[in-house]
Amino acid sequence: MNGVPVLSVRDVSRHYASGDSIVRALDGVSFDIHSGEVVGILGPSGSGKSTLLLIAGLLDPPSTGEIFIRGRCVSSASADIESLRDFRRNNIGFVFQKANLIPFLTAVENVALSLEIDDIPARDARFYAEHLLESVDLSHRIDNLPTRLSGGEQQRVAVARALANDPALILADEPTAALDSVRGRQVIGLFRRIADSQQAAVAVVTHDPRVLDLFDRTIELRDGRIVAETSVLTERNNSLQNATFPQDHSQ
Ligand code: ADP
Ligand code: MG
């Protein structure tokens, strides 16, 4: 089931100065995510989940430790910002809790825009954007403005947009938090399909117990450390039955 490691997090810590004290948002975290895997990142509010995704997504540098993506060390302090940005654009797709679509552009225009930013000509961008929306089951909604889409549909447009650069790694921070159970499962189901069809590696931060069975594995953080981890598919169901899932309404 497992492919090659796409994301490798090696002994990563992230410390923030807060007045006289130091907040250890992440404290010696290590794990891999392989191609074709959908991994849930769990943990209560403040446990370091968002910090971890920002660091894995090269949006924030670790204080210590290393990040490898597709075997390349991308956390080196000497890496220049422009090449990191290019690397991110070519390899990583992000999905957040809110879809953050541009309100005056239709679904297809929202997706095409991110392709045009990558210098793809407008006609090709639209054609490919239609294809991406089809892949998230939104062929019938491509010309709708965001206000004419349900929350779940907006989030699927955001997923299509995240797929525009054909990412090897997809990072999603609470993508189902604003959705009802059925639509939340649809979004995670979509990641499952993308992992299978494109061999992408997917990390999803969630507190949502309704989607846990859709993950290959889970990693649970507390106070910036990994406190529980399920390792293989066959262990998954047993571990999940015993796991606790704290509710968080702070986001
Ligand atoms: P989670 O996403 O699990 O709720 P976060 O990663 O957002 O947790 O935060 C982990 C810890 O780091 C929290 O104590 C938070 O207050 C702190 N933290 C996060 N970002 C910053 C920042 N930019 N400056 C200072 N402290 C931060
Ligand atoms: Mg968070």
Query: In the predicted model, is pLDDT for residue 234 greater than 50?
Result: no
Query: In the predicted model, is pLDDT for residue 199 greater than 80?
Result: yes
Ligand 1: which of 23, 24, 53 to mutate, most ligand atoms within 8 Å of CB? Answer: 23
Residue 36 and residue 199: Cα distance in Å, rounded?
Answer: 4
Residue 51 and residue 161: Cα distance in Å, rounded?
Answer: 22
Q: Identify the residue whose C-alpha is closest to ligand 1 atom 23.
A: 16
Local confidence band at 50 (pLDDT 50, 70, 90 cut-offs):
very high
Q: What's the pTM?
A: 0.88
Ligand 1: which of 51, 60, 225 to mutate, most ligand atoms within 8 Å of CB? Answer: 51
> Is there an atom of ligand 1 within 6 Å of 146 CB?
no
Local confidence band at 85 (pLDDT 50, 70, 90 cut-offs):
confident
Nearest to 168 by CA among 87, 232, 99, 108: 87
Q: Which CATH number fits domain 7-100+160-241: 3.10.580.10, 3.90.1150.10, 3.40.50.300, 3.30.70.380?
A: 3.40.50.300
Q: Identify the residue whose C-alpha is closest to ligand 1 atom 7.
A: 50
Residue ranges of domains in the chain: 7-100+160-241
- The predicted pLDDT at position 232 comes to 57
Q: Rounded to the nearest whole angstrom, what is the distance from the C-alpha of residue 54 to the centroid of ligand 1?
A: 11
Q: Report the SS3 class of residue 44.
A: coil
Q: Rounded to the nearest whole angstrom, what is the distance from the C-alpha of residue 14 to the centroid of ligand 1?
A: 10
Query: How far is residue 142 from each of residues 21, 41, 133, 180, 225, measured CA to CA in Å?
Result: 50, 31, 7, 22, 42
> Is there an atom of ligand 1 within 6 Å of 50 CB?
yes
Q: Identify the residue whose C-alpha is closest to ligand 1 atom 22.
A: 16
Please give the full DSSP string across 213-229, using - where no structure is assigned: GG-SEEEEEETTEEEEE
Q: Identify the residue whose C-alpha is closest to ligand 1 atom 14.
A: 46
Among residues of the chain, what percentage have pLDDT more than 70? 90
> Is there an atom of ligand 1 within 6 Å of 48 CB?
yes
| pLDDT tens track for 51-83 | 999 999 999 999 999 999 999 888 876 667 778
Q: Rounded to the nearest whole angstrom, what is the distance from the C-alpha of residue 152 to the centroid of ligand 1?
A: 27
